[in-house]
Amino acid sequence: MFEVEIVTGFSAAHRLRDYNGKCERLHGHNYKVLVTARAPGLDRGGMVIDFGDLKAATEPVISGLDHSFLNDIEPFDRIEPSAENIAAVIFDRIARELGDRARILHRVSVYESDSSKATFIRDEE
């Protein structure tokens, strides 16, 4: 199995609505995002996916979140903008950008800080 990964990030504010603690107050993060593609073999060019193509699929998703108040952005206007939900939404949006190559998207990890991350992994069943 081969994996490739890109690292990107964005800055945004949020508040957790259904949470009793300091994160219920408005605050922000400089999120780091790791996007992982995986395949059992390589394409004719010897790659899982060209890094540039993975970056191109990821950039519009990340730029749509950058310097925003996440609670105002769909679907976070309805669901909690937790790191777990952010990872799942980013995964889903990148998969749509990849189109017929979405099957290689394996994992998206979102770091809220250097020591705290949440990951969404494609269900392989």
94: domain CATH number?
Answer: 3.30.479.10
18: pLDDT strictly greater than 80: yes
In angstroms, the CA 58 to CA 47 distance is 18
* H helix count then E strand count, the chain: 2, 5
- Domain of residue 115 covers 2-121
In angstroms, the CA 29 to CA 48 distance is 31
In tens, the pLDDT along 76-108 reads 999 999 999 999 999 999 999 999 999 999 999
116: pLDDT strictly greater than 70: yes
Burial of 7 (0-12, 13-18, 19+ CB in 10 A): exposed
53 near 109, Cβ under 8 Å? no
In angstroms, the CA 91 to CA 108 distance is 6
List of E strands, the chain:
2-14, 27-39, 68-69, 105-113, 116-121
Specify the number of domains making up the chain: 1
Residue 23: band (very low, low, confident or very high) from pLDDT cuts 50, 70, 90: confident
pLDDT of 50 reads 97
Coil vs helix vs strand at 104: helix
Which residues have a catalytic role annotated?
A: 23, 67, 112
Pairing of strands 27-39, 2-14: antiparallel
In angstroms, the CA 95 to CA 106 distance is 10
